[in-house]
Amino acid sequence: MDKASLTSVFLTRGASLLKLTLLGAAAGVAMATVSFAQSYDPDEGSGNIVGPGIAYMVQPDGSTNRVGGRTGRVNGAGHAMAMTHGTEVKPGAVLYRSGGKLYLLHNQMIDGKMVEEHARGWTQ
């Protein structure tokens, strides 16, 4: 092999190694992004689960903010008020944001199926 051929082989292999490294890094970032997107509050669990002692308030634009900020936890007075005046969100209920408003659709029978059954076909 002459010197030019040898240099060409190393440049090609170097470029391929660089491309593979960049591709691997991009795949890692993409997977991490999906993981973070699935967890509304990673400190309290995944899949958008609100942990015990944590409250969210619906804002006028339909968005939600954690009461007390990122580390806020509800104290005894807040807990007592929520238990006395709050309403339990039952399994199968759907929270939906549209037009700057947040809607709660209770899991109920509609057109012969429960809402949770209907909801399985709502995504694109």
pTM comes to: 0.52
Which sign, positive or negative, has the C-alpha torsion 26, 27, 32, 35? positive
Tokens of 30: 């993409």
pLDDT in tens, 7-47: 555 555 555 665 655 555 655 555 554 444 444 555 555 44
Q: How many residues does the chain have?
A: 124
Q: Return the amino acid letter for 75.
A: N
